[in-house]
Amino acid sequence: MKILIINCGSSSLKYQLMDMDNETIIGKGLVERIGIPGSRIIHEVEGMNDYIVEASMNDHKEAIKYVFDAITDEKHGIVKSLDEISGIGHRVLHGGEKLSEPVIVTDEVKEIIKENIKFGPLHNPGNLMGIEACEEIVPGKPNVAVFDTAFHQTMPDYIYMYPIPYEYYKKYAIRKYGFHGTSHKYISYRLPEVMGVGREEINFVSCHLGNGSSLAAIRKGKCYDTSMGLTPLEGLEMGTRSGNIDPTVVTFIMEEENLTPQQMNTILNKESGALGVSGLSSDFRDLEDAADEGNERAKLALDMFVIRVKRFLGAYIAELDGCDAIAFTGGIGENSKTIRDMVCKDLEHIGIKIDPERNDIRGKEQLISTDDSKIKVYVVPTNEELMIARDTMNLIK
Ligand code: ADP
């Protein structure tokens, strides 16, 4: 069975065609600069040169037309006809409270995605447009929506509620939702496999550290707590997002600088985090290099990131009622031995001990703790596309 996975960002679109008989990638690609001059599609097939088409693409619908053209192209295509594709899995940011599982798209599901644009203004509109474009271009093909928020819907109310007047929950559904759910869910299946234990036998902390970062406390395969909130702004310091700060900082700066909510949102989402502190970059490779060369603010941004990861890690170990393992994933979690080492440093007293030789790896599944470390520490590269493809296949079968 062949499944197409579509991930629409605000101005980009990633796609991947998977053969689910052996869970392999048949081909994949990226559309960049949708709605911005210079849009193009880069279509990659193993063993062939990239096929690049530069053309004006005003919205996601036009972009998806180019995707279907590329995958059926006579010379560079990966299927002879679109009939070979059994279903399409879409990554959708925010499913709110009503959607706690991947679902086959119906009019009602589209309404819910629309309803949640208020919480995901940068992603939900593009996600929806991607779905509608597929419905139009390949009518009758099942579309499945897989939500970043869904995996976290098992959190109990005393975790997802904010201590503000209850009426705001009733009126606006303001609560913690959590994100990166597809990644944390993938890890919740893969880590027990790597450890050779049942999914319901372990409690662990999943650390997705990338451009956006979040931790999830996972109890017997289910999410118990996670660090992102109503939006992906809460929690850790990220590439350009502030994560947790005293809310008064927000109102103070707005008053002093005479800023609109929109402007303040941009500052907190795009100009804060590691970029805001370092004044240099949001990319952790640049920051690590600069810190090595003595750049004090790059070092400060890294130290601030690490202490926040440690802080949530400690909190989640306390919440889990016994923690068996920690998994690092995401661009930073998979690739940076320095960050992993800094996070786990001086935690021997709670049973976490990293083996420097085992930790000296990038992007592969490996145990990185010592044999006598009570809590086992692993690197487990995430695979959100595979998770979406599996969820899609299970629903359309
Ligand atoms: P996204 O959240 O956009 O999916 P990723 O998970 O791909 O992001 O993570 C991107 C981040 O991973 C960037 O900050 C990048 O610097 C970081 N990263 C990638 N490789 C390394 C590395 N070798 N060392 C440190 N950071 C790395």
Q: What is the pLDDT of residue 46?
A: 84
* 189, two tokens: 């299946």
Q: Which residues are marked as active site? A: 148
Pick from 57, 12, 62, 52: nearest CA to 38: 57
The pTM of the full predicted model, rounded to 2 decimals, is 0.95
Distance between CA 205 and CA 313 in Å, rounded? 7
- Site to probe by mutation for ligand 1, drawn from 14, 179, 236, 332 as the one with most ligand atoms within 8 Å of Cβ, is 332
The CA 286 to ligand 1 mean position distance, Å, reads: 10
**Treating both helix axes as pointing N-terminal to C-terminal, what angle do 181-195 and 384-396 enclose, rounded to 10 degrees?**
90
Residue 62, ligand 1, Cβ within 6 A: no
Residue 181, ligand 1, Cβ within 6 A: no
Residues of the chain with pLDDT under 50: none
Contact 380, 340 (CB under 8 A): no
Distance between CA 227 and CA 313 in Å, rounded? 10
Q: What is the pLDDT of residue 9?
A: 82
Residue 333, ligand 1, Cβ within 6 A: no
Q: What is the pLDDT of residue 47?
A: 85
Q: Which atom of ligand 1 is nearest to the CA of 382?
A: 6
Residue 331, ligand 1, Cβ within 6 A: yes
- Site to probe by mutation for ligand 1, drawn from 270, 285, 287, 305 as the one with most ligand atoms within 8 Å of Cβ, is 285
Residue 240, ligand 1, Cβ within 6 A: no
Distance between CA 294 and CA 46 in Å, rounded? 41
**Treating both helix axes as pointing N-terminal to C-terminal, what angle do 296-319 and 337-344 enclose, rounded to 10 degrees?**
60
The CA 284 to ligand 1 mean position distance, Å, reads: 7
Q: What is the pLDDT of residue 122?
A: 86
Contact 233, 243 (CB under 8 A): yes
The vertex-74 CA angle with 69 and 76, nearest 5°, equals 75
Q: What is the pLDDT of residue 369?
A: 98
Q: How do beta strands 325-329 and 13-19 pair?
A: unpaired
Q: Which atom of ligand 1 is nearest to the CA of 362?
A: 23
Residue 227, ligand 1, Cβ within 6 A: no
Residue 125, ligand 1, Cβ within 6 A: no
Q: What is the pLDDT of residue 271?
A: 97
Q: What is the pLDDT of residue 48?
A: 87
Sheet holding 13-19, edge to edge: 51-54, 40-44, 24-32, 13-19, 2-8, 85-92, 143-147, 103-104
Q: Whose CA is nearest to atom 14 of ligand 1?
A: 283
The CA 371 to ligand 1 mean position distance, Å, reads: 28
Q: Which atom of ligand 1 is nearest to the CA of 284?
A: 16
What are the C-alpha distances in Å from 268 to residues 222, 239, 246, 279? Answer: 30, 11, 12, 14
Percent of the chain residues topping a pLDDT of 70 = 100
Distance between CA 146 and CA 131 in Å, rounded? 11
Pick from 77, 68, 50, 212: nearest CA to 130: 68
Amino acid identity of residue 95, one-letter, is G
